[in-house]
Amino acid sequence: MELIVGMGNPGVQYQMSRHNIGFQVMDRIAIINHVLISNKRFKTLYGKGWIDSQEVVLAKPMTFMNRTGGAVKKLVNFFTIGMDDLIVIHDDLDLPFGRLRFKRRGGDGGHQGVRSIIESMGGNNFLRLKVGIGRPPKGIDPAEYVLDSFGESEEPILDKILDRTADALKVMLLEGLETAMNRYQRRIKKEG
């Protein structure tokens, strides 16, 4: 069984923010795979189901991003998941908008949610699927930028990015990390 955690902040005001792309991906994965994310435990919404032949728990911690680790640790313990079977989906400022990157181990890259998970888990040997949101324009504070909604030029391709991220995760689960990395770690092209 794999525990897949989409990161975001709870509350309607953050629902469509760049920082909540992990929640948006999780919702898309749930719809595609007919998993109902409705159970509540450990300050988390989660659902159990299948992505083809792989049993999964899809989770959305309802804590603020910088406190995600405690909820994730409780889920890992409850479902007796090894750190190798934990996948965290989150936004990344340092990747261009739409770019995907898989990563195992390493630091938090300045991401408070990832830092919280590393600290709570006592290690970093979990898989991350980073979804690029790009850097803010000059003069815009990154903390404000991540809490802002996607821009007009980004919205038309957001659906494709969510679908592509769900596909990348499925390929990783069924065909392996290397195959997924080779197939999906490139930028999505804008239409026009």
Whether residue 76 lies inside any domain: the answer is: yes
Give residue 120's domain range: 2-184
pLDDT tens by residue, 78-128: 999 999 999 999 999 999 999 999 998 888 787 888 899 999 999 898 999
**189 occurs within a structural domain:** no
The CATH number of the domain holding residue 146 is 3.40.50.1470
Mean pLDDT estimate for the chain = 92
Question: d(Cα 53, Cα 44) in Å, to the nearest integer?
Answer: 25
Give yes or no for residue 192 having a pLDDT over 50.
no
CA distances from 188 to 6, 96, 99, 132, 151 (A): 21, 10, 7, 11, 16
pLDDT of residue 104: 85
pLDDT tens-digit readout, 16-49: 999 999 999 999 999 999 999 999 999 999 999 9
Q: Which residues, in sequence order, are CB contacts of 159 under 8 Å at separation 6+?
A: none
Q: Which two tokens stand for residue 130?
A: 């980073």
In a domain, 62, yes or no: yes
Query: Is residue 190 in some structural domain?
Result: no
Q: Is 78 domain-assigned?
A: yes
* Token pair for 147: 């809490």
- The whole-number pLDDT of residue 107 equals 80
In a domain, 28, yes or no: yes
Catalytic residues: 19
Paired tokens of 83: 């750190």
Adjacent-strand bridge partners of 56 = 2, 49
Task: Tell me the whole-structure pTM to 2 decimals.
Answer: 0.92
Exposure string for 63-100, b = 16+ CB within 10 A, e = fewer: bebeebbbbbbbbbeebebebebbbbbbbbbebebbbb
Share of the chain above pLDDT 90, in %: 78
CB atoms within 10 A of CB 153: 9
- Whether 191 shows a pLDDT value over 90: the answer reads no
**Is 137 part of any domain?**
yes
Residue 191 in domain? no
| H-run or E-run covering 15 | none
Q: How many domains does the chain have?
A: 1
Paired strand residues for 89: 6, 129
Q: Which of 29-33, 134-138, 160-164, 166-170 has the lowest mean pLDDT?
A: 134-138
d(C-alpha 82, C-alpha 125), whole Å:
10
